[in-house]
Structure 1
Amino acid sequence: MTIFWALAIGTVASYVLTSMAGEPFVFTEVLILAGIFAVAAIVLAEFILPERKEE
C-alpha cells in the first residue's frame, strides 16, 4: 500500500510542479522518484523510528 500512495502522491506533485515550471511531464522520472520515496518510507518505518509502546 505504501508503494501505491508514493506513486499517487508523487505523480500529482510532479505534475503540478512541472506544469508550474513549464517543463514536460516525464512519467518514468515520477516512477523512479516514487520508488525512492517508498523505499525511504519503508526503511524509516521498519528500522529507524522507534516502536510505540501501548499503555
Structure 2
Amino acid sequence: MRYIMTIFWSFLLSAAVSYVLSSMGGEPFLIENAIILTVIFSIVVFVLGEGILKEKTE
C-alpha cells in the first residue's frame, strides 16, 4: 500500500511542478513530462526509504 501511495503522491506533486514550470516557460502542459518526473520521484523515494534512510535496530 505504501508503494501505491508513494506513486500517487509523486504523480500529484510532479504534475503540479510540471504545470507551474510549463506555465512559466510559456509552453503547453504535457502529461508525459509529469509521468517521467513521477518515475524519477518514486525511484528516489524508494531508494531513500528502503536503503539510505533505513533505521538501525539494536
Same fold (TM over 0.5): yes
- TM-score scaled by length of structure 1: 0.84
Identity among equivalent pairs (%):
47
The CA RMSD measured in Å over matched residues stands at 1.4
- Counterpart residue identity of residue 40, structure 1: V
Distance 1:52 1:25 in 2: 43
- TM-score scaled by length of structure 2: 0.80
State the 4+ residue runs in structure 1 displaced beyond 3 angstroms.
Answer: none
Pairs aligned (count): 53
- Quick check: 1:34 aligned with 2:50? no
Segments of 5+ residues of structure 2 without an aligned counterpart are: none
Segments of 5+ residues of structure 1 without an aligned counterpart are: none
